[in-house]
Structure 1
Amino acid sequence: MLAMDANSDLVKRLSAAIAGMDLPSVRLGQPETVEQVAREAERLFQGYAKANTGTEDAYAAALAFLRGKTLDSWERDRIASAIADPVRERNGEIVLGSSRFSELLKFYEDEAQRGELWRLTWHGLLYAYFRFDPTLTRGPAAHQGWAVLRAFLQRTWPLIDQQAGSNSVPDWIAVLRKESDVLSEKPADRYAMACLQGDSTATDQLAEDLGIPPSSWFWHALVLSGVRRATASNDTEFRRLIPRLLHLIDSKPAFRDEAIEAILIRYHACRGTPQDESLRDYVCQPRVWKNPKLKQAGLATAWNRVPEPVWQMVLAWVNEGNLRDFFAILAARNKADEGRLAFWSKYIKQITWTRLVFGEDTIQLKNTHRAIRELIAREEGAYARLRDARDLDAFMMQIGSYLIIEFSKKPNACYAYVSDQLPFKPYDQAYAGDTSDLKAGYYGKRAARISHQPGWEAGATDELRRLGIFPDRQDNRNEISRPGTKAGTTTTRSTTAHLTPPPDISSLHSLVSRFRGASIDDNRTTTGGGRLWVVDPLQRTQLAAELQSMGFRWAAARQAWYLPEH
């Protein structure tokens, strides 16, 4: 028969088991009676890890605790398994989030240090540790309480392990002796690679042995660990794993933001990598991080998690997609493209912001036109509507210090406005679409007007050049990196291409003064040495675009813009 001492948790469970037996029918003093109790003890002792300990008594103890009651010794043991369970009568509050939880945990730790904490009580705490569901628990207090519980279990596990000895230990103790990493700050790292490969054999067995429920934080942590392993891989392997990572994040989203942050930063570091449309479409969903264009309007704050160049990378993806979709889907529907997609694609690297404005006909077409439906869904929360022009759509794009508006239907001209002198607000939810706002340039309140007559491209190029806007340079020589591009990718400058006239120094001072913290460092000498620099610690997108239009280039070593020698 199992050896027991007066303080063992088994005695308590056996007492409960014996109390529940039909004593009049038991022949006391008979060997078979002792064997029956021993078998019951073995069943309880070995199988307790797989039992559901969330009994009515445990729930009642949790409710009493949250109501401020001082628990007696029995209630303190019972509550252990229910500290992560939402209590209905307290609007889903849990003991882990209570200000009194640390007091309760100190009681357990004092008992553990004295060797008096029942192992089944400790197991109840372990059960609650795995039972915690981060997707249902609101507020930081519960998450902090869970972290405190984890640290407690990690500290006291050696005491419980030592007390258990080596004879006839329950399954959960045997498992923890091999898998004690589940109590560490990186509990799922050792299983992450198998998770990425879709192999759940090891984690399924762990869940069975330790009673980890499907809603546990553990599965979310497993996904985050998988993301960390993937981002540590080489570029090719990392990109191959992205679809798998997005699927895992979507299924276990508790640490979604941390995971997305790691993926985007790693993608930005890939060399020579084109945009990943699946990554773009997932991250930009309204239920995820929203459209990156909404960051500056304060409507998509999750983008503040990543560095400015990473945000600019995804913003460039969205802007390029909007440009192509507008002319390929909306303007083409009205047979009004007239080469505009090819023309504006020459300036794609300088487009720092875009916005689509849909007419009512386009909004209605989403019910029957798949491409339009997908376009509107991608722009959810970012697009505007035209009130008075049902069959017209508009496209806004920021290039340098100008906001340019194209329309989807002839005979509408294209208008360019100075961005800080707009006759409308760029983030309005709706526009009339006439000369009262978007077409105010018809009456001369504009920086430029482009009419799409045959051969219009040459005149449009000259008109933009007059504004200091030149086509993107596409040459493989003299390559440089600039903010907003992935590390290792380049914006190219041709030594034989058209040279931008040097900027007027007073205009440059006027420009830089608009961006707080930016400064000019003019090291040029009368003999032609030195360079003209612009330093912007915040690396703002609009200033970068305007400096580029003036001919400045980015120096990665100094993290500043310089004007090359002409």
Structure 2
Amino acid sequence: MPIDAVIPMSIANLKRRLEEKVRGHSVVDVTNAKFVKPQRLLKTLSVLDQKFDDLENSLPLDEKIFRTISKLESSGFGHLTRRDWKNLAWALSKILPGAQEKLIFSDIGKRIIQHFQQSEMDLIGLVYFPLLYSYFALENEDVKNKPAIWLQLRDVLNTNRSGVYRDLKRPKKWMNTLVDYSEILSNSPTKSFVKRFLEGKDASSVANELESLKMAPNSWFWDDLIKSSIQSINGMNEQDYLKIIPRFLHLAEQNLLFTTDILIALLERYAKTSERQKVHEELKYIALNQWDNPQYDSSAGWNNVNADTKKMVIQWFVRADLEAFFKLFSASADVNRFNYWIKFIDKISFSQIFLGPAAFQSQQFQHKKFRDLNRGRLKKLVGSTPTNNAFMLKIENLYVIDFSDTGNACFIVNKIPYNENKFEVHRDTLKPWNNLLKLSHTPGWQSRFDSKMAELGVFSNQTEVNNYNSGYRKY
């Protein structure tokens, strides 16, 4: 008798005799009360079971698989051994020498699956795990369009699962996994795993649960799990969604191929929350790195989201720029000026910060952090005092230019007065002679500004903000 038949029989007999011996020395209904189960022996038996399963279900060498395919091509199905049948099942996810596609999609592969569809249970039981392995070994690109032959393979596995489980002479961990998670062979294979996957820092918890199935790291299953997780974002309640954002950002870092899909889902959902006006710094800067500045029409990546969602992010940048200008880089923040301009935020589509030498050279942590996170967005103001900074806002069709140092007027023009391709901008360039308006910040300036802006057709839909709350500390 071959060794692969003797080992499982011996283990099964040993377990059965042990159970019978225990029953023979006790009354059935008080066995557990009178005798302690031999846990160490049972654990040893479990380890032996697992080792045999690993041996039984180890992937054959490619050379052996390819020889079996050659044998099938020359002699047909009638002369195949038990090992040959298993090799055919293992072979479905392989690419034969000289072939361009995996065997399952070739004529031979289709014949193999069709044969298994018509086979008796004893043969299906023999090849079931290799078929299962091949099913999960295919990659996302292989199955993204749900090819018919792949669905046929799933049907073979799903239809025969109960019969194979019933005929097993001893329990197998991989079959118990299939029984516990029956949906894994359905149209929604990852549905029950999404929550656990999102609660963990990575896929390890789910991977551990499914370890016995020996799924390849590049299996379509993991791609489906991530996609299903992303799709779940839209259906989350607001509280759960806001809590899960860090997990998805971490997921985006781990799976660069899904960064765009994750970013789209997160931004679209955030735009529907009650906190859409609150800047989410991590989400904001990942979006900036991925798609560039949403304030530029040339940043085509922002076409991935709705116009309203893009507008939300633009307002994040505007708010952050104004806070940085009036609070972070200013020794004496003019709260009234911040509050005045922020009331136009729903009409602002572009903001530009010009930092003077002091702000550009500052080694304060918050200053360096702002410069690093906004690398490529900032310009340098020259021809002025070291402490002077400037900003420009596009409010509808007008451009508002203002400075941090006192004694500088506010200018309103109808076009950008500087060369956008230049990094350094002179102060005098930002004080154009052909300005539409030149306004000073003398007492009562807010009402005068309102009147002049109204004359140019710009009105605020918001009342002026009286409570100035910034995430920055004043230095």
Q: Please tell me the TM-score bracket, short chain as reference.
A: 0.5 to 0.7
2:193 aligned residue: 191
In structure 1, C-alpha distance between the alignment counterparts of 2:303 and 2:282, rounded to whole Å = 18
Deviation (angstroms), 1:410:
5.1
1:552 aligned residue: none
Deviation (angstroms), 1:122:
6.1
2:371 aligned residue: 376
Deviation (angstroms), 1:51:
5.6
**Are 1:307 and 2:306 counterparts?**
yes
2:380 aligned residue: 386
Quote the sequence identity (%).
22
- Name the amino acid aligned to 1:179: Y
Within-5 A mapping of 1:70-219: 79-82=91-94, 95=101, 101=105, 103=107, 105-115=109-119, 123-124=129-130, 126-127=132-133, 129-131=135-137, 141-142=141-142, 144=144, 151-161=151-161, 164=164, 166-168=166-168, 170-198=172-200, 203-212=206-215, 216=219, 218-219=221-222
Shift of the 466–179 alpha-carbon distance from structure 1 to 2, 3 Å rule, reads same
In structure 2, C-alpha distance between the alignment counterparts of 1:58 and 1:94, rounded to whole Å = 20
2:27 aligned residue: none
Within-5 A mapping of 1:281-296: 281=284, 283-286=286-289, 288-294=290-296, 296=297
Contact 1:207 / 1:213 at 8 angstroms: preserved in 2?
no
In structure 2, C-alpha distance between the alignment counterparts of 1:218 and 1:429, rounded to whole Å = 49
SS, match of residue 292 in structure 1: coil
SS, match of residue 468 in structure 1: coil
Within-5 A mapping of 1:319-338: 319-330=318-329, 332-333=330-331, 335=332, 337=334
Contact 2:284 / 2:316 at 8 angstroms: preserved in 1?
no
Contact 2:137 / 2:218 at 8 angstroms: preserved in 1?
yes
CA distances 1:266-319 after superposition (whole Å, capped 9, x unpaired): 333334764252564364241x4444324x21x341x32322212222222222
SS, match of residue 432 in structure 2: helix
2:348 aligned residue: 351
Shift of the 95–272 alpha-carbon distance from structure 1 to 2, 3 Å rule, reads same
In structure 1, C-alpha distance between the alignment counterparts of 2:108 and 2:406, rounded to whole Å = 74
- Name the amino acid aligned to 1:442: P
In structure 2, C-alpha distance between the alignment counterparts of 1:347 and 1:378, rounded to whole Å = 25
2:6 aligned residue: 35
In structure 2, C-alpha distance between the alignment counterparts of 1:430 and 1:359, rounded to whole Å = 12
- Name the amino acid aligned to 1:471: S
Task: Please provide the CA RMSD for this pair.
Answer: 4.7
2:339 aligned residue: 342
CA distances 1:425-458 after superposition (whole Å, capped 9, x unpaired): 55x35343354xx42x4322x2222344566444
Shift of the 179–336 alpha-carbon distance from structure 1 to 2, 3 Å rule, reads closer
Shift of the 193–338 alpha-carbon distance from structure 1 to 2, 3 Å rule, reads closer
1:505 aligned residue: none
Contact 1:405 / 1:415 at 8 angstroms: preserved in 2?
yes
In structure 2, C-alpha distance between the alignment counterparts of 1:54 and 1:311, rounded to whole Å = 53
Shift of the 387–230 alpha-carbon distance from structure 1 to 2, 3 Å rule, reads closer
SS, match of residue 183 in structure 2: helix
TM-score of the pair, normalised by structure 1: 0.58
In structure 2, C-alpha distance between the alignment counterparts of 1:107 and 1:361, rounded to whole Å = 75
Deviation (angstroms), 1:401:
0.8
CA distances 1:297-352 after superposition (whole Å, capped 9, x unpaired): 1x341x3232221222222222222221222123x04x474843232123222212
Shift of the 377–249 alpha-carbon distance from structure 1 to 2, 3 Å rule, reads same
2:467 aligned residue: none
Contact 1:281 / 1:378 at 8 angstroms: preserved in 2?
no
CA distances 1:232-264 after superposition (whole Å, capped 9, x unpaired): 243334334434444444445554433433333
Deviation (angstroms), 1:53:
2.8
2:237 aligned residue: 234
Deviation (angstroms), 1:207:
2.0
SS, match of residue 371 in structure 1: helix
In structure 1, C-alpha distance between the alignment counterparts of 2:294 and 2:148, rounded to whole Å = 36
Normalized per residue, which structure has more helix? 2
Deviation (angstroms), 1:354:
1.8
In structure 1, C-alpha distance between the alignment counterparts of 2:349 and 2:146, rounded to whole Å = 43
Contact 2:382 / 2:425 at 8 angstroms: preserved in 1?
yes
CA distances 1:380-428 after superposition (whole Å, capped 9, x unpaired): 45x1433855945442211011122333445544332214xx44455x3
In structure 2, C-alpha distance between the alignment counterparts of 1:308 and 1:38, rounded to whole Å = 67
Shift of the 339–59 alpha-carbon distance from structure 1 to 2, 3 Å rule, reads farther
2:271 aligned residue: 268
Contact 2:92 / 2:109 at 8 angstroms: preserved in 1?
no
CA distances 1:453-481 after superposition (whole Å, capped 9, x unpaired): 56644443333232122333339xxxxxx
Shift of the 379–131 alpha-carbon distance from structure 1 to 2, 3 Å rule, reads farther
- Name the amino acid aligned to 2:190: A
For structure 2, the residue ranges without an aligned partner over 5 or more in a row are 13-47, 77-83, 465-475
Deviation (angstroms), 1:364:
4.2
1:468 aligned residue: 457
Contact 1:413 / 1:451 at 8 angstroms: preserved in 2?
yes
SS, match of residue 442 in structure 1: coil
In structure 1, C-alpha distance between the alignment counterparts of 2:462 and 2:116, rounded to whole Å = 70
**Are 1:443 and 2:402 counterparts?**
no
For structure 1, the residue ranges without an aligned partner over 5 or more in a row are 2-13, 19-33, 135-140, 476-566
2:17 aligned residue: none
Shift of the 272–465 alpha-carbon distance from structure 1 to 2, 3 Å rule, reads same
TM-score of the pair, normalised by structure 2: 0.67
Aligned length: 410
